[in-house]
Each structure stands twice: as C-alpha cells, then as structure tokens.
Structure 1
Amino acid sequence: MGGMPREFPIGLTPPDWLVRNLRAHPATVDRPALVRAALALTLPLAAGLAAGRPEYGAIASMGALNGVISDTAAAYRVRVPTIAIPQVFSAVGITVGTLVHGRGWLAVAALTLVALVSGMISTIGAVASVSGLLLLLSCVVGAGLPLPGEWWLAPLLISGGGLLVLALALLAWPLRLGVPERAAVGGAYRAVADLLAASAAGGAREYDERRHAVTQSLNQAYDTILAHRARHHGRSPELTRLLAQLNAVTPVVEAAPAARLGGGALPPEVPQAVRHLASAVETGYSGPIGLRLPDPATETARALDHALRHAADVVASPDADPRGIDDGLGRPAALGIRTARAARNVALSAASWRYGLRLALCVGIAQALVSLVPVPRSYWIALTITFVLKPDFGSVFSRALLRALGTVAGLVIAAAVLAEVPRGWWDVPVMLLLAPLVPALTPRGYGYQTAAITPVILLLSDILNRLGTALLLPRLVDSLIGCVIALVAGYLLWPESWHTRVGDRLADAVDDTERYVRGAFGPDALGAFARARMRRGLYRDLSVIRTEFQRALTEPPPTGRRAAAWWPLVVAVERIVDATTAARVRVQHGAQPPTAAEVTQVARELRELAEGVRENETLHAVRTLLTGPADSVLEPLRQEVAAARAIASPR
C-alpha cells in the first residue's frame, strides 16, 4: 500500500474541463505590487477615519482597488496610460451612476446604454478593456449604493484612489528608468536561447513549448518598445537601440527551425552565446562582445553563425540608425491617428456590436429584474455579469463557474472579518492584510481573483452601509443570479460563444502560411524585413489560436471535445511555418532554390487544406498528392504539409 497512489472509481473522477478550470496558473509573486496594493487601499481608509469620514475613505479605497486591477504593465512609460486612462472612465461611470441612483427605469436605461458602450470599447485593446470594465463597474456601484456628499465628490474620491496607485508605482521610476524595457528585450533573447537548446536536445513537445514561449516573449517586447516610441516625442536613442537589438534576434529565431530540421547536434556554445547577449542587453552594456562559436560546417551552422555575430554587433553598438529601424519595422502611428482608427473599427465592427449587445442585454435584464423584484443592495448582480462577460477574460461558462466558487471562498473570509473585527480603526490592519491578496492571487486564475476581491469589496461596502454579516447571504444570492443571467442571456443564446472558433482561425492561418510560402520562394519573393514581419505575424496569430484552444478546452462537452480534435493540426501548421523558414535560411546560405513548379504545388496544397478546414465543423483526413525531388530544399516542407493534410479527428 505504501507509496501507491490512491485510485478513485471512474465515476468519481472529475472531468478534464472541470480540472482545467480549477487548476491554478503558475505565476511569480510581484512583491512591489503587493506593497502598492496594501498601501493604496489602506491609506485612504486611515485618512477617512482620521478625518471622521470613513465613508469617504471607503470610496477612495474602491478607486485604489480599480487602480490595482489596472496596474498590469511592467514598464514605467506604459503605466501612466495603463492606470490613468481607466480612472477617467471610472470617474465618468460613477458620475452617471450617481445621477440615476434611485430613478427606476431611467437607471435601467442608463446602465443598459453604458453596458453597450463598455462592451464595444472593451474590444479595442488591453487598456480599453480595463477602461470599459471600470466604466461599467463604477456606474453599477454609483447606481446601486447611496454615496455620500455632492454628485461630484464620489468621482473625485474614486479617481484620487486610482491615481494613488499610479503615484506609488512611479516612485521607483528615476531609479529603474529603462530597466523593464531592457528586461523585456533580454527576456526575448533568453527565450531564443532556450529554443536553440531545445532544438538540439529536447523532444518535439519541448521544442513546441519553447517556440510558443519565444512568440509570447517577442510579442511582449515589441508591444512594450513600440508603444513607448509611439508616445515618445521625437526619437529616443535608448528605445531605438533596444528596437534594433530586438530586430537583430530575428535571424537567430529564423535559424532555429533549420537547426531543428537539420537533425545534427547543436553545440552548447550556441545557446550560451545568446544568453551572453541577453545579459549584455539587460545591463545596457556597449562594447566588444567576444562570442566563442565553433567553425560552421553546414548551411544551418553558417546561418546561425552569421545571425549570432550580427546580433552581437548590434548589441555592442552604443548607437543605432533610426532610419534603418523605421524602414525595417515601420513607425507606429501617432496617438490621434491610432485613436481615430480604433473608434472607426469599433463603430463598424460586427464583433464589437455583438459583444456590446450581449453585455447590454444581460445588464438590462439584471436591472429590470431588481426594479420589478425587491432585491436589497442588488448592484452585486450587475457587478457579477460585468466580470463574467468580459470578452478577453476567457470562457463565459468557466468564468461563471469560477465566479460562484470564488465568491463562496471570499464570503468565508468576509464572514470571519465582519463577524469578529469591530468596525473603525481595526479596518486598517485588516485591509493591510487583505489588499495584497488581490495582486497575489489574480495571476493564479479568475476564481482566485474573485476570492481575493470579494472580502475587500464587502469590507468597503460595510463601511458605507453598516449591514455587517447581513451582507453575506444577499451577496451570494446576487452572485448566483448574475451567473445564471450571464450563462443564459450571454452564453447559451449566442451560439458563437459556445461553438469553438479554432477551426476558422486555423484556416485563416493556413491561408496566411500559403502567402508566406509564396513570399519566401515565389517569383515575387519578399525582402528579409517583409518576410520577418510576415513570419512574426503568423506566429502571433498561432499564439492567439493556442489561447483560443486552451479557452475552448475549459468548455463542457461537446465543445471541449471538438476543440481538442484540432490540436494536432495547430502543431502541424506551426511546423509548416518552421519548415518554410528553415528552407529560406538554407537557400540564403547556399542551398539550391526550389523551382517555381514546386512552390506552386505546395501553395495549392495549402489553399486546399485551408478550404477543407473552413468547410468542416470537425477535421477529417484529406487527399495528399505531394511529389518532388527528395533532395529538394522544400522536401521537409512537403512532408509537413502532407502530415497536416493526413491528420484526422474522430467522427
């Protein structure tokens, strides 16, 4: 018996989708974020108690909680808009809510309209998503709670609390200027080093995971640097140099699949050299960098050697030509132009309208329900719907489940606090302990975030209405009602939300792959920078597909089972892109280029694969007639395309 794992009857084994929903995500603890949350939520409470107006301190602490939720950026230049812009929307939301508080059907209409606007702007991007969330959350709180003071006082207090988080976040800016940006670029180099190590010694699964990590790391680094340059007046030599260093690692990334497909052992000096470059980037070093690389003997080895020495030259250079950077990557549009584009896209996007209408329908139903049925402090229903229906927060079904479970866990903590801790100055040390749980548990998953936020909000609500433990049962009932409304009106009534979209997005990626093949080898072959942008865009799209795939797996059957059938093809398409890149690298370093007939044949097969994927709800095997010379540079690519077309899912 000893040492043997206990086996449960098959009927008692939890389903995979439930296990995936409940599993905590791995995450590192951001200690400065814990300190900021503790101070930002506690100081307003203490100030309010000292002034004899604890309710004012509670409202400011609500704003600080909004700021903690908004504080998702690591780089200081991005933190100002990331935290400040959502606070403006929060102030607008609580103003509207305060003005319609207690006005019956006018409040229903106002909240429904705000929900529509919130849902539509949430589809723009990360900052807009948080802004839309806080717009609706604050409006719901203002409409549901009788806030003290004049109508303008609550917006002032809630904005002040959010800006306190920003002020605390920026305290270390003079000491750490540029450090997060260099860390992002250095992290991309380290991810590439891990990929090269996996291409030499790791299995297929490890290599695929490392490649996905490279895509995510590059996306994060480019988003950080380009966003900063767009906001920077004039040219920043530091950001230009970092962007040049980031561009310089692209040839190394492109050589990795060639090394993988080459089959030969990659010398350990190669990934070690990339880690050496990463350290130079992270410290801001400029000067000679000695790389100890073996003499190249093959096309792949020559490609890696050339790419690494070029990267070393760029990293060592204290200056970078800004014209070359712009020509190679393109300069971000001005803020006004990007804002106008975003507004136009939202107004004309069917997806943004559909999501806005879903959110508006659910919030409208919730507000109509509480207007017809006397539900005390019913704003919690709309709060639940707002969190559950966020478009970029994952599966609606899983979020409703996790919201219910997280609320129960949070209520257990809140019950102990409200029952045993006297109101007054004791709220300050309690908040000092509860506040850090929000940034600590949020990266672990939505259920964990809900469990952390629930006691904080209930403590602040109790300061405003003094109901004590009488808050607990109504909050649980309200949360369950909100989850049911979100599941029925925001999930089951919208087939697009419970049908997997992996197949459609994968078909688009295959179409893009076909264009990539023609751009790499066709008669009108693209230049190196254009190919790099296309390849990077492909992997970015495939990363989104992986995220969509993981979301679909958390859905109950049959959606989760249908999504799982697409996974082999997701991996196969990634390998097709790898094989295309590897063939291009080999041609650049001496291999015989493919004939036009070979390129046309592979491109046609990819088009047919995309059509077959797009036409079927589930994936079936398709005919493959790829032939050509065995020694052709495209032979590995033909094999990957044949493997992709031969994949079949269970009928």
Structure 2
Amino acid sequence: MSREFPIGLTPPDWLVRNLRTTKAPINRAAAVRASLAMTLPLVIGFAAERPAYGALASIGALNGVIGDTADAYRMRVIQLAVPQLVGAIGIILGSLVYGRGWYAVAVVTGVALLSGMISTIGAVASVSGLLLLLNAVIGAGLPLPGAWWLAPALLTGGGLLVLALALLAWPLRAGVPERVSVATTYRRVADLLAACGDPDRYPSVRFGVTQSLNQAYDLILAHRARHHGRSRELTRLLAQLNAVTPVVEAAPAVHLTGRPLPPEVPEAVRRLAHTVQTGRTGPPGVPSLPAPTTETARAVEHALRHAAAVVTAPDIDPGGVDERIGRPAALGVRAARAARNVVLSAHSWRYGLRLAVCIGCAQALVSLIPVPRSYWVALTVTFVLKPDFGSVFSRALLRALGTVAGLVIAAAVLAEVPPGWADVPVMLVLAPLIPVLTPRGYGYQTAAITPVILLLSDLLSHQGTALLLPRLLDSLMGCAIALIAGYLLWPESWHTRVGDRLADAVADTAVYVEAAFGAGIDTAARARMRRRLYRDLSSIRTEFQRALTEPPPTGRRAAAWWPLVVAVERIVDATTAARVRVRHGAPAPSAAEIHQVSQELRALSEGVRRSETLVAVRTHLTGPSDSVLESLRQEVAAARAITTPH
C-alpha cells in the first residue's frame, strides 16, 4: 500500500534524491583492516604512555582507510603510499606557519590552490591533493607534539599501516581483483541481454555495463602500464574484455527489435563470467541456438561464439591484444602530460581558485574571530568543496546532517567512556563503520567519521564533551562558507559545467555516425571510438544526476535537459545497432543518408552549446523506410523535437 504525503508537505525531489541511500555490499576485509589499523596505534600509544602519538598515527590510518578504494594490489601501493607522502609535506608546511597569523592564511590558501589544481589529474592525484590540504590545515591550526618530523612520521606511518594490512593477502590473491572485475563485466553484459526488449530496464542496465567496462579497462590498463614486461594473465584479461565488445554492440540491435532473447543466451554469458573468474580453460560453453535468420540473430550468435573462443582459449597472442587496445604511454610521458594539463588547463585553474577562495575565507574568518578548534572550519570546507567529489550543495547538506548524527554517537562515547584503555574497544567498534557506511552516501560517511575523529581529538586535547558544540558550530560555518563562496556566488553556471560537455558528446556522435559506415576505419579504431563516446556519455549522465540533487534553478534545469541526455544515448545505441546489422548482411546506407543524419547532429550540438534552455526543432529526415538508418533517423528527429517544459 503506497503512502502519499499531504498536499503542501511533499518533500522536493532534490531533497529526496539527496537523502536516498545507495545500496552497496559490505566489504568485510576493508572493515577488518580499518578496525586493526586505527586501533593498533592507540594500543601502542597507551602502552608507551604517549596517547597523543597514538592518536596522530590513528588519524593517519583514518586517512588511509578513506583513500583505500583501489582493487588491484599494485594500484593500492600507488594509491595509498603516494598520498601519504604528499600528506607529510602538507603537515610540514602547515606546522611551519602555526601561530603566524596572516602568513598561515596565505600559505594554506596557496596549498588549497595547488590541491584543487592537481585534483583534476586523476584518482591518485585527487587523494594526494586532499591529504596535502587536510594536513596543511591541521598543521597550521593545531600544536603538534614532539619534534617537527615526528607528526609527519606518525601520520604517514598510520597510513602505511593500512597499506601493509591490505597487502597481506597479495601472495594468495594476486590477479584476483582483475579477474573479478572482468567477470563482473560479463555478468553485467548478461543482464543487458536479459533486459533487451524491456524499455524500463534496458537504459539503467546499459549504464551499468558502461560503468563496469570503464572500471575494468581502467584497472587492467593501469596495472599493465606499471607491469614490467608482458604478463600472460593481463594479456588474457585484456583479450577477454575486448571479446565481450561485440556482444555489447549486438545488444542495441536486439533491443530495437522489441523482442527478448531466449534465456539461454544471457545464461551462456554468465557461464563465461564464471570461467573468467576461475581462470579455467576448456571447450566453449555456447548453447545450441536456432539457426539465425536475421542480421541481429547472426550478430548475437557470432559475438557469443567469438567471446567463448577467447575466454576458453589456452593461449592468447599478445601482439594482437596490443594492436587492439593501443600501448599505454610511459610513466614519464604520462606525468609530463598531466603536469602540462594542470598548468595550462582552465578547468584546473577554475577548480583550484574556487577551493583557494573558500579556504582563504575560512582561514581569514578564524583569524579575525576567535573560534575554538578553528582548523575544523577549513577542514569542513575542504571535504565539502573537493571539486571532483560531487555537488557542493549536496555535500554541504549531507555534511551538516551527518555531523549532527555523528555528534549524537560521539556525545554518548565522550560522556560514558573514560579516556584511556577503554577507548580501544570503542575504536574497534567505530572504525569499521567507516568503510561499511561510506559507499551508502556522503552523509553516512560523515556520521561514521565524526565520532572517531572526536575520540582522537579528545586524546590530543582532553576536553571531553566540551568538543561537541565547537565541532557542530565549526562544521556549520564551514558548510556555510562553501555554500556561499563556493556555490551561490561562484561565477560558474550549471550550463558551462554540463551543457558544453553534452554539446561535445553530440558532436562526437556525429563523427561516430560517419565512422560507423565509412571506409578506411578498422574495427579496433571504431571500437575505441564507440567506447570513448559511451564513457563520455556515462560521465555526463553522472554529472546530470548530481545536478538533479541541487535546488532550483539548477535542479529544475537539469531535469528539463535530462530527456536530451537519454536521447543522445539512444542515438548512439541506434548507430551501433545499424552498424551491427550492416556487418552481418544488411545493405549499407548511402552517403547521402549518413550526411543528412550527421548534419542534423551537428546542428543539435551547436544549438545545445548556444542555448540556456532547450528549443524544439521539428525536422523530417527522409530515406528508404527499410534502411538500416531508419531507427537512427527516428531517434535524431526525436532528439531535435525535445523542448524545455514550461
């Protein structure tokens, strides 16, 4: 029985989206690591009668727990070790200007600029920039015990403890995360085949396939780039990822027919997923299918048999795999390219300046107005305004709500648990909640971190429940600064963040339409083009979904443009489906048909780039009704006819 809110009490859509919980499995290994890594330093500190030292090392372990998001072990070494070393530089810079007034404001603001700029490079640089700024703020706002080198050593040691615990299983599970990632992609593709013909399920499942493919390729290629020499296992996994591409390409063609596939087809892909995950080889596991009578049926059968042959093959030609995916650039070349992009990119400067302005406001405010534990204000700004972590408005709202929830737990702990050895079992219970709740949403992560950080802060300051009110006020002040200076007054509209990217994707779709049926483009190059386009559309969809969590006018504008995002995805699917049909026997479209569609897409791209609101354009694309481009023409016409509702 459904419940309805009384008229006038219905919560707005943006609030409902913000408070919605993300479903995620519990990572038990990460929970155990967090419990051990954050508790062990406290035990050592109490045993050595230096609880403050143990608290600093535990804070470092907390940083490691938050950054422990990689799957492959080789990537973990980079993703955990590099940010810890960069964070040590931040704590040194901050401690050098502790108590220096406006010098501290200037230095921390400069660090914020650098942090925001390097965060645009990638995942490792993002976490590194975060720890650089966080530790600089802590060093500039908190008197640290011991010599100048002790605090950086303790914080870094705590983070490296998380890494050491994570690597304990490496000898036993080497290569397992990579195989699981590829096998998961096969399972997502099986779900996609099962959803063909279902207009309600297919779009969301298709989005999940794109995300899974992106993650698997990123994982395998990053591992391969750091692997010296050729790895037989990586070569096999890359070949298996490439082999599932024809199956993915055949899915839109099947979906456009409106008829579901026999259940044996997705079941065959699930069996291949099991073979990938176990690493076994053997005879192909493709079922006996009816003789294909259409281009679509031939495409499905051919793709399945090709994938089965690759998955079960005892040997893979590494030269063929390299030619298919391209060779990763050398580490030095990629580092130089990243540095050049950071210095020359307006995108990185814009994000860096945004973060620097807000951190500068926070540091200046606490310099002018005496605020207990003043560094908490800048820490809140850092977490809320981290440019690559999502909507500023959404994070500010969830940060405030999560802090209030976390303070309730912290109040009970600080009031009832005497400081000392009794903190050890409390940390054993609280620490694993961080990796358990983090995937469910930012508010849940904040609620889990707040009591932990207050417990550690009490070991440094011995203020007990007196920490609660300052923490709440500082968090609210930080959220307010981020919302005002980094959101409401920041001269960057939603259209410039998302509209231009959507226009670029539409223009790239026009190029893809031409390449899909043009001569002189090999299959591998066409597959790479299609994969890049789906990756771009996936990130645009994610950005739009973030915009939907913001209040009007941003959320309302995003909701109005959302149908166009879906329409562009359907255009790409229709292009892929037409290409599959041509490859399996359908007559190729004429050059005039292709030119007509691509010109309409380029006109749509220019319209999106110039417009703040959508304007309907009625267009009639002509061509033979039995052409493979008929569905594509209909999708393009539907996209041009979308208008902003009033």
Determine the structure 2 residue equivalent to 1:436.
432
Counterpart CA distance in 2 for 1:350 and 1:512 is 22
2:170 match: secondary structure: coil
Match of 1:58 among 55, 58, 62: 55
Counterpart CA distance in 2 for 1:246 and 1:429 is 45
Per-residue deviation at 1:262? 2.6
1:526 aligned onto 2:525: no
Match of 2:333 among 337, 361, 378: 337
Per-residue deviation at 1:8? 3.1
Contact residue 196 and residue 259 of structure 2 kept, 8 A: no
The one-letter code of the counterpart of 2:454 is: L
TM-score by structure 1 length? 0.97
Counterpart CA distance in 2 for 1:167 and 1:445 is 27
1:166 aligned onto 2:163: yes
Counterpart CA distance in 2 for 1:29 and 1:9 is 36
1:13 aligned onto 2:10: yes
Which digits, 9 at most, give the CA deviation of each residue in 1:441-494, with x for residues without a partner? 111111111111111111111101111111111111111111111111111121
Contact residue 293 and residue 305 of structure 1 kept, 8 A: no
The one-letter code of the counterpart of 2:538 is: S
Contact residue 74 and residue 180 of structure 1 kept, 8 A: yes
Once the two structures are superposed, the pairs formed by residues 102-251 of structure 1 within 5 Å of their partners are: 102-200=99-197, 203-251=198-246
Per-residue deviation at 1:434? 0.8
Per-residue deviation at 1:402? 1.1
Match of 2:578 among 561, 569, 583: 583
1:43 aligned onto 2:40: yes
Change in Cα spacing, 1:355 to 1:290, as seen in structure 2 (3 Å) is closer
Determine the structure 2 residue equivalent to 1:79.
76
Give identity over the alignment, percent.
77
1:147 match: secondary structure: coil
The one-letter code of the counterpart of 1:153 is: L
Counterpart CA distance in 1 for 2:497 and 2:76 is 33
Counterpart CA distance in 2 for 1:487 and 1:520 is 45
Change in Cα spacing, 1:127 to 1:117, as seen in structure 2 (3 Å) is same
Per-residue deviation at 1:313? 1.1
Which digits, 9 at most, give the CA deviation of each residue in 1:205-254, with x for residues without a partner? 20111110110010010000000000001111110110001000111111
Contact residue 193 and residue 274 of structure 1 kept, 8 A: yes
Counterpart CA distance in 1 for 2:429 and 2:497 is 42
Determine the structure 2 residue equivalent to 1:346.
342
Per-residue deviation at 1:425? 0.2
Determine the structure 2 residue equivalent to 1:567.
562
Equivalent pairs, count: 645
Determine the structure 1 residue equivalent to 2:638.
643
Determine the structure 2 residue equivalent to 1:284.
279
Per-residue deviation at 1:261? 1.5
Change in Cα spacing, 1:647 to 1:6, as seen in structure 2 (3 Å) is closer
1:626 match: secondary structure: coil
Contact residue 500 and residue 563 of structure 1 kept, 8 A: no
Counterpart CA distance in 2 for 1:192 and 1:163 is 37
Unaligned runs of 5+ in 2: none
1:449 aligned onto 2:415: no
Change in Cα spacing, 1:150 to 1:124, as seen in structure 2 (3 Å) is same
Which digits, 9 at most, give the CA deviation of each residue in 1:88-138, with x for residues without a partner? 111111111112111111111111111111111111111111111111111
Contact residue 241 and residue 318 of structure 1 kept, 8 A: no
Counterpart CA distance in 1 for 2:18 and 2:254 is 37
Per-residue deviation at 1:300? 1.0
Which digits, 9 at most, give the CA deviation of each residue in 1:504-525, with x for residues without a partner? 2221111001000100113x45
Per-residue deviation at 1:497? 5.3
1:306 aligned onto 2:309: no
Contact residue 194 and residue 260 of structure 2 kept, 8 A: no
Counterpart CA distance in 1 for 2:260 and 2:530 is 25
The root-mean-square deviation of aligned C-alpha atoms, in Å, is 1.2
Counterpart CA distance in 2 for 1:123 and 1:40 is 29
Stretches (4+) displaced over 6 A: none
Counterpart CA distance in 2 for 1:508 and 1:577 is 14
TM-score by structure 2 length? 0.98
Counterpart CA distance in 2 for 1:499 and 1:632 is 36
Per-residue deviation at 1:500? 6.9
Determine the structure 2 residue equivalent to 1:317.
313
* Segment drifting more, 181-190 vs 294-303: 294-303
Contact residue 252 and residue 307 of structure 1 kept, 8 A: yes
Counterpart CA distance in 2 for 1:398 and 1:590 is 50
Per-residue deviation at 1:618? 1.4
Determine the structure 2 residue equivalent to 1:416.
412
The one-letter code of the counterpart of 2:165 is: L
The one-letter code of the counterpart of 1:158 is: L
Which digits, 9 at most, give the CA deviation of each residue in 1:173-204, with x for residues without a partner? 1111111100100111111111111114xx21
Counterpart CA distance in 1 for 2:476 and 2:493 is 20
Counterpart CA distance in 2 for 1:464 and 1:73 is 31
Contact residue 500 and residue 559 of structure 1 kept, 8 A: no
Per-residue deviation at 1:269? 1.6
Counterpart CA distance in 1 for 2:598 and 2:109 is 49
Which digits, 9 at most, give the CA deviation of each residue in 1:50-99, with x for residues without a partner? 01101000000000000001100122121111111110111111111112
Which digits, 9 at most, give the CA deviation of each residue in 1:34-54, with x for residues without a partner? 100000000000000001101
Match of 2:481 among 478, 485, 495: 485
Match of 1:508 among 494, 497, 504: 504
1:386 aligned onto 2:349: no
Contact residue 589 and residue 628 of structure 2 kept, 8 A: yes
The one-letter code of the counterpart of 2:101 is: G
1:89 aligned onto 2:75: no
2:70 match: secondary structure: coil
Contact residue 195 and residue 260 of structure 2 kept, 8 A: no
